[in-house]
Chain A
Amino acid sequence: MTESFQRVGLRRAMRSQEIIIALVIVVLSAVITAINPAFLSLSNVFDIVRLATVSGILALGVLLVLISGGVDVSFPAIADTAVFIGATILVAAHFNGSGIVLYLVALPFGIFMGLINGFFISRFRVPTLIVTLGTSSLYYGAELYFFGGVSIFKLPSGTVDLSNASLLTVRTASGVGTASLNPSVLILLALAVVISLVLNKTTLGRSIYALGDNRAVAERSGVRVARVQYFVYGLVGALAAVAGVTNASLYRNANPISLQGTELAVIAAVVLGGTLITGGKGTVTGTLLGVLLICIVENSLVLVGVPTTWQNVAVGVVLLIGTTVPAIRALRRRRLVGGV
């Protein structure tokens, strides 16, 4: 009885965090639009969506890890390394066809690197942050040592075509030039649906929540922890590879360190979306809202007229507000419960 009671409360709390972030997005958008109406133009929305696509795919992986009670900082290394190895292979093979092939070639490398994380985490029970700090350095180091550090701009023509593809092309607000909606956003949306289904509709998904909530209880109730961890980290590797290939396709460049340093912003976006850093709680919707909020902040400074040097400060402020508000509410709730 109490358990279902708690779960209802938890779900309500998650929902309310999503509503808060959505409200913040609405208010922020209104303020930016008041300063520069170009913000709400379709062309600018397309630019923000493009920016959010790669972070969004990475964030889905981070969501899985955080729910399971871990922290992964190696996903940028996996993303960059998987696509760089994939591109190196395709260039060596003089492949010049479909853009999907780079995804197919990079994917196994991403999964493999994710499984290496899973191995150390489940086998030796080393803290996830420590393992992934180590493997992050290992993956980047091995990539630069064995494959060199020179960006690959000569990508297959199909990959280059992906960056030019458009679902919808519109004129910009000012009437000068056009803007197009890149189809890569469909990859993000499809993956979001799949991850959401896995988390909510499968036993495996519920096991991930259970593991993050309380490992001992999960073990006692029959969750095979090692198997769940292999699944989570392997899937994170796969998502990272997809994000890496999408990133390379969008900018027509397999840069060996393109995403280096993005891990904290992505983790922050996921936490902003209401995911508990200690595990057991988080939603796909909240995660996507968190990513959207960060991308709006990052992509609007020039429009508003704030120097781009302030980007980190602006993102930091949003994060502090976005994460302290729920914490304060949680404290107040606890005090209320204590009073009763």
Chain B
Amino acid sequence: MNTGFRSQVVPEYRLLTENQIQEFHRAALEVNEKIGARINSEEGVELLKQHGCTVTEGNMVLIPNYLVEECLASAPSRIDIYNRKGEEAMHLEGRNIYFGLGTDLINSYDVYTGEMRPSLLKDAANASRVTDYCSHIDFVSSYALPHDVPTNTAYVESVKTMFENTVKPIFSTAAGLEDLKFIVEMAETVVGGADELRVKPCLIHYSEPTGPLVHSYGAVRKLFYCADKGLPITYAPGDLLGGSAPVTLAGGIVQALAEVQAGIVLHQLRRKGAPIISGWAVVPMDMRTCTLSYGAPEFRLTNSAYSDIFHWYGIPMWSTVGSDAHVFDEQASMEHAFTTLMAALDGANLIHDVGYMGQGLIGNPAMVVMCNEIISYVKRLMRGFEMNREMMAIEEIRKVGAGGTHLAEEYTMKYFKQELWDPALSNRDDIAVWKQKGSCTYSHKVVHKTMEILETHRPEELPGDVKDKLGAIAERADKELAGIHFVA
């Protein structure tokens, strides 16, 4: 009896049962109430004290359970993100999935020479233009830490470059509150003012606590600033299993959840209802090399766990994909395919680090182009299929009958585009045609497609006066930030 509903068949996956979710929730509550969180900010400690928290030695703040639960309740269950032009771009809620790049890669590949070198501002520009072209990538990030601009304005310059090269929403970090203010001023300039940015945010700030259990002065300042501004912030700890967190997956989950809870408490006490995006990266540390692994299966399990937990909380969540390969190779492809599929099955909302390589240290625009196709595949998979009398096609089966063909039927014409995925680059040619076209490998096609995008795709330009204003802000940032120390 499905009256008024379309019957859609979709892949479904959950890792935790409701009992397991509640058990993790209570364990994290216990950590916050009995062990506490180290808050390295007087303002933060004071706020928590006012709300009934106990401060013990070393700025360890014990947070009562009811306060955590109140703040989880006041955090919004949906956040709308807009593009540069004020058009709706992402509804971060429920099991909606959106994909985008990551920040800070210190090395980049040049697709033309195949050489890896320290990242430059033009790498951020290239990544933005490729993202602007890629229809399955929903938001942009610098994808580079440029070495050719002054250290203190690396993020300001990157954000300016992103605004110039794509209309898509921007996910960006900052070194401190000092440069974040210039970044926010840029976003306000692009959308026409502070109120406009609050109503239609096109920028998400990305900050994090320091595991285990530490919320630095800089992190708390940024949490407060974003709460005041109504600017969406992702506050997601990165914890290493066996390093900054217990080696057991369940232990890592409990610690990271406690860290996220404490962050939400600080943020929501500052301003109830301010938009915050949760999540964590609880990542295995390789016990031979001490490096963190993006491609590891354990990382997928801890991601699935928080996705289930934050769906239960009703708080939008962030997620991570990526690869440990240093070159654009089979490992990079395999790990991106697995991680993208798993993030989608998790129903995580803001899935970042698309195209990340080399354990979070290497970018390659061709990887982004390949990920666009992986995401396209996964989004098709996640869409599932419709199932009703019309779609089950009994009339059509009757009409064509035994031994007939459906190829030239109206029914086929009507539905084939919605039903069948059309890959942009994957091979579907037969052997003869494939040979005729030069027997190309997939990576060869991806690299050439990337070059074509870089050479021909022209993103919609910023209005001239806005471009000038951003230039002026960057110039002012360069003067005011020169030589100062950001407080972490």
Q: Do A and B bind each other?
A: no
